[in-house]
Amino acid sequence: MSLGLRLTLAVAVAWGTIALAAPNVVAAPFEGVVIKGKPYVYDPDNAKDVMRICAGCHGDLGAGGGGGAYPRLGGLNAEYLVEQFKKFKTRERENIPMIPFAVDREMSEADVLDVSRFLSEVKLDTKPPADLPKDGYARLQIMKKVLQIPREAGDLEAGKAFFVADCAPCHGRKGEGRVKKPPLAGQHIAYLKTQVASFLSGKRPHEDLDILKAKSEADWINLWAYLSRLLD
């Protein structure tokens, strides 16, 4: 290869790397936040301590559970988690099971930021590995990272049409969510159903309530069927 060509290639490779790297530079969550006059610094050990409180209901890595009564928190956007937590504190969003844990005495502002950043960085698997170890404890450790959403029955094409037209513009094309618009893919369906019931009854606010109100029972069945398969 001529020197000229080699140089051109080297430049092209370097360019490619820069071009690829640039959009991935994302500031760490809560950079620049000041608490009581002091800059907030992430404390991962404290995050894990706080997580022990949450684990009782949401699972060690926030995979959720209890048949979908407890939502998945692992991998959710950090700012969304903090915002919802604040809403529980101020009772703007009702959450009776969490009240005792959400009060200031239990959770400082730094605790909330720490645990939210920790959770936002969790990557849950959607399928157990093919070669699960025989040892019960080792199996349990692996399964804590696995998010399982049972499939619901319904008309998938109709569910998809509903989702794409009315929900995807905010919740993402694949239901992956966007900053403070939470993911619908990979969330427990039983939990999502409770939330929709809360929106419809006015207990929890949702933008564009009219879209939700316009849907029939059959529409909802089809939507759940579609959403329950989005991570397959």
- Binding-site residues for heme c sit at 54, 57-58, 98, 167, 170-171
Q: How far is CA 95 from CA 2, 76, 89, 100, 227, in A?
A: 69, 18, 9, 10, 24
Query: What residue type is 104 in one-letter code?
Result: D
Give me the least distance between CB of 51 and ligand HEC, in Å please. 7
Give me the least distance between CB of 115 and ligand HEC, in Å please. 5
Residues 6+ apart with CB under 8 A from 32: 39
Give me the least distance between CB of 104 and ligand HEC, in Å please. 13
Lookup: tokens for 232: 């397959």
Residues 84 and 150: their CA atoms lie apart, in Å, by 25
Give me the least distance between CB of 59 and ligand HEC, in Å please. 10
Closer CB to ligand HEC, residue 69 or residue 132? 69
CB 51 within 8 A of CB 60: yes
Query: DSSP letters of 50-114?
Result: HHHHHHHHH-TTS--BGGGTB---TTS-HHHHHHHHHHHHTTSS--GGGHHHHSTTT--HHHHHH
Closer CB to ligand HEC, residue 30 or residue 70? 70
In the complex, which residues of this chain contact ligand HEC (CB under 6 A)? 50, 53-54, 56-58, 69-71, 73, 81, 84-85, 95, 97-98, 101, 107, 115, 166-167, 169-171, 180-182, 184, 187, 192, 194-196, 206-208, 211-212
Closer CB to ligand HEC, residue 67 or residue 129? 67
Closer CB to ligand HEC, residue 6 or residue 203? 203
Closer CB to ligand HEC, residue 108 or residue 148? 108
Give me the least distance between CB of 158 and ligand HEC, in Å please. 13
Helix (H, G, I), strand (E, B) or coil at 182: coil
Residues making up the binding site? 54, 57-58, 98, 167, 170-171
Helix (H, G, I), strand (E, B) or coil at 35: strand
